[in-house]
Amino acid sequence: QVQLQESGPGLVKPSQTLSLTCTVSGGSISSGDYYWSWIRQPPGKGLEWIGYIYYSGSTYYNPSLKSRVTISVDTSKNQFSLKLSSVTAADTAVYYCARFGSYDMTFDYWGQGTLVTVSS
Amino acid sequence: QSALTQPRSVSGSPGQSVTISCTGTSSDVGGYNYVSWYQQHPGKAPKLMIYDVSKRPSGVPDRFSGSKSGNTASLTISGLQAEDEADYYCCSYAGSYVFGTGTKVTVL
């Protein structure tokens, strides 16, 4: 059973860079059938896809966030990471990592989510 | 891209059926058969319920069904049960991925 777990600071100051890591267990991040994704949900609001990465390092980002987002992968640690720069209060959200199946185009396994608050 | 449009809330009594709509454009819902639906209970991560418009993953009860007509996809829950009370989100491929605004299902 694949499991994903987000980790990182729960509080980030405005204008700084948000950094999160997702650790994958129960399966290899180097599996060619999947992309590894970040999705966020502001408190009381809906879901927003941030982007995803293939194990080779190829990335695809939401056009609305592309200028501030970097997703990277470390296959040796079975981890992938998110960096979001120049954050504001609008970036306060629960951040989820999720596995995306390229065959069925679904986010089929999700982490539990981690709340990141942007505040001074 | 703009979020797909869903009703804010729907409700029904146990045993009844409810249908949630998800309206997009020809660039997302109408252009691809890659519509999926996710169930989210409070404080929990979303769970995949339907994919490719109408397919159910293993373990999802068959009272959950999906369909699509033009630019609108729909999720129907038949034989509503108390544990179905949750938020539901549609999602469509659109060059990238766009989610719906979310619908709260209340079991009366």
- The SS3 assignment for A74 reads strand
Q: Tell me which residues of chain B, numbers 55 to 74, contact chain A at a CB-CB cutoff of 8 Å.
A: 55, 57
How large a percentage of chain B has pLDDT more than 90? 95
Q: What is the dihedral sign for C-alpha A111, A116, B2, B7?
A: positive
C-alpha dihedral (A110, A116, B1, B5), degrees to nearest 10: 70
What pLDDT sits at residue B1?
76
Shortest CB distance from B51 goes to which of A45, A63, A104?
A: A104
Q: Is the pLDDT of residue B8 over 90?
A: yes
Over residues B22-30, the mean pLDDT reads 95
- Judged by average pLDDT, the poorest of A37-46, A96-105, B66-75 is A96-105
What pLDDT sits at residue A44?
94
Shortest CB distance from B99 goes to which of A49, A61, A111?
A: A49
Over residues B50-62, the mean pLDDT reads 95
With beta carbons under 8 A apart, name residues in chain B contacting A96: 45-46
What pLDDT sits at residue A78?
97
Give the contacts of B79 (CB within 8 A, at least 6 positions apart).
Answer: B15, B17, B63
Over residues A80-88, the mean pLDDT reads 98
With beta carbons under 8 A apart, name residues in chain B contacting A48: 99
- Summarised one tens digit per residue, pLDDT across range A92-117 is 999 999 999 988 889 999 999 999 99
What pLDDT sits at residue A21?
98
Q: Predicted confidence band at A48 (pLDDT cuts at 50, 70, 90)?
A: very high
What pLDDT sits at residue B31?
93
A47 Cα to chain B: minimum distance (Å): 6
Shortest CB distance from B46 goes to which of A48, A105, A110?
A: A110
What pLDDT sits at residue B95?
87
Q: How many CA atoms lie within 13 A of B2 on its CB side?
A: 8
- Check if the beta carbon of residue A41 is closer than 8 Å to that of residue A113: yes
Identity of the residue numbered A110:
W
